């Protein structure tokens, strides 16, 4: 089976002269981790001489040093080099899910052109760490999957039109469950659809290490000088936040940066970690991966919806076996802020949402 990989890559130009950043970013990241140019060069597969050439080229281009060397302190990055690393991480966090979807589409198109794998599993879902982990395991099993990352409402709407086989969506636990569920019920029917539980995940506030602005709750988002970074309009996470703000009588117009839009939890975390904002809202995993502190506020369940008449499909059965495998549960359980206790459990809609759907 053909596999397509598209990686984000960026270039900086000045007066017609370009600096290709991919190799330099790998080297700087490695230097930050190991504190030695020689060891970092070995880690990324470069000769010591070539690594020094990359660093010198970057310093000439910017007119600033990228490294600080001190006796007994090893090699450290200058503020400029650190800013470059965070810029690279933001590029990756923002674009990687979009490129994953595009890669999946290209795989499907090439397979059709080569008359291979005419049958695929079409998975539409909002981006999440457990979804990405599932895709990895399905790919390792050789199951042809056509992935499309989109918001939860669009995913279940596509399912109702038979444009996908599985639709991922999330519903908060507790007081906002019925309101959130109502967004999906126009497209989900207890008579024709069932649910597979993916995970419970924790949503909350991302803040810089040590929480220097002393942010503790949603009301603090309105304080003077607090910079907020948001998810895109239509995302389940942004809708959840809007419900919570409304319940707390907080006007979104009082939050500086509320109209911003990042397309993944990781992109929000990277934005804050690069000190371009003070706080954001998302899943704990992203905060942990970018070295941020996390203030838990809400738990939500993430499901895959699928037609009842698809349950006997051999490909769907393989997806279910993967979801119910011990190895996949272990992967989900290892994600910060995720609970895999019910991962792979198949339920009717009325079983999943007792007293809300009959």
Q: What is the Cα–Cα distance from 133 to 331, expressed in whole angstroms?
A: 7
Residue 334: CB atoms within 10 A of its CB come to 11
- Look over the chain and give the mean of its residue pLDDT values, rounded to a whole number: 90
Q: What is the pLDDT of residues 41-91, one digit of tens each?
A: 999 999 989 999 999 999 999 999 999 876 656 788 899 999 888 888 888
The pLDDT assigned to 1 comes to 62
318-346, pLDDT tens digit by residue?
A: 999 999 999 999 999 999 999 999 999 99
pLDDT digits (tens, 9 = 90+) for 176-198: 999 999 999 999 999 999 999 99
Provide the CB-side half-sphere exposure for 348 (13 A, CA).
10
Instruction: Note whether 292 and 207 are within 8 A (CB).
Output: yes
Domains in the chain, start-ordered, CATH in brackets? 11-85 (1.10.10.10), 119-358 (3.40.190.290)
Question: What does each C-alpha distance from 249 to 171, 176, 238, 253 come to in angstroms?
Answer: 22, 15, 16, 12
Give the percent of the chain with pLDDT over 90: 63
CA distance 168 to 187: 13
φ, ψ at 249 (rounded to 5°): 60, 40
User: pLDDT tens across 77-126, in order?
Assistant: 899 999 888 888 888 888 887 888 787 778 767 776 776 556 789 999 98
> Which of the pair, 1 or 68, is modelled with greater confidence?
68
For the cut 70, the answer to whether the pLDDT of residue 358 exceeds it is no
pLDDT at 119: 75
> What per-residue confidence (pLDDT) applies to 101?
76
Q: For the CA atoms of 306, 310, 314, 319, what is the dihedral angle to 10 degrees?
A: 10
pTM over 0.75: yes
Q: How far from the centroid of its chain's Cα atoms is residue 131's Cα?
A: 9
Res 299 pLDDT > 90? yes
């Amino acid at each position: 089976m053909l596999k397509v990989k598209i990686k984000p890559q960026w270039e900086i130009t000045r007066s017609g002269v370009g600096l290709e950043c991919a190799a330099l970013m790998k080297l700087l990241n490695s230097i930050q981790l190991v504190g030695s140019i020689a060891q970092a060069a070995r880690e990324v597969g470069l000769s010591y001489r070539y690594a020094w050439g990359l660093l010198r080229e970057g310093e000439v281009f910017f007119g600033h040093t990228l490294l600080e060397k001190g006796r007994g302190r090893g090699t450290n990055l200058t503020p400029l080099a650190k800013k470059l690393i965070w810029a690279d991480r933001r590029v990756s966090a923002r674009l990687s899910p979009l490129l994953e979807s595009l890669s999946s589409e290209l795989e499907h198109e090439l397979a059709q052109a080569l008359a291979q794998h005419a049958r695929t599993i079409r998975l539409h879902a909002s981006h999440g760490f457990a979804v990405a982990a599932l895709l990895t395991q399905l790919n390792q099993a050789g199951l042809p999957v056509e992935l499309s990352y989109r918001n939860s409402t669009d995913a279940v709407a596509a399912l109702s039109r038979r444009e996908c086989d599985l639709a991922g969506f999330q519903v908060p636990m507790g007081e906002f469950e019925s309101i959130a569920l109502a967004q999906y019920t126009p497209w989900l029917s207890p008579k024709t659809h069932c649910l597979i539980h993916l995970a419970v995940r924790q949503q909350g506030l991302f803040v810089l290490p040590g929480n220097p602005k002393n942010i503790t709750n949603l009301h603090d988002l309105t304080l003077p000088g607090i910079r907020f970074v948001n998810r895109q309009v239509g995302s389940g996470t942004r809708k959840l936040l809007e419900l919570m703000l409304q319940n707390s009588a907080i006007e979104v117009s009082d939050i500086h940066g509320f109209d911003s839009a990042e397309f993944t939890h990781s992109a929000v975390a990277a934005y804050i970690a690069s000190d371009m904002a003070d706080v954001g809202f998302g899943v704990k995993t992203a905060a942990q991966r970018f070295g941020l502190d996390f203030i838990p506020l809400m738990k939500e369940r993430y499901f895959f919806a699928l037609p009842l008449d698809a349950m006997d499909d051999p490909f769907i059965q393989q997806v279910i076996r993967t979801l119910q495998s011990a190895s996949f549960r272990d992967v989900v359980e290892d994600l910060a802020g995720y609970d895999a206790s019910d991962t792979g459990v198949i339920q009717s809609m009325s079983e999943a949402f007792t007293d809300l759907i009959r």
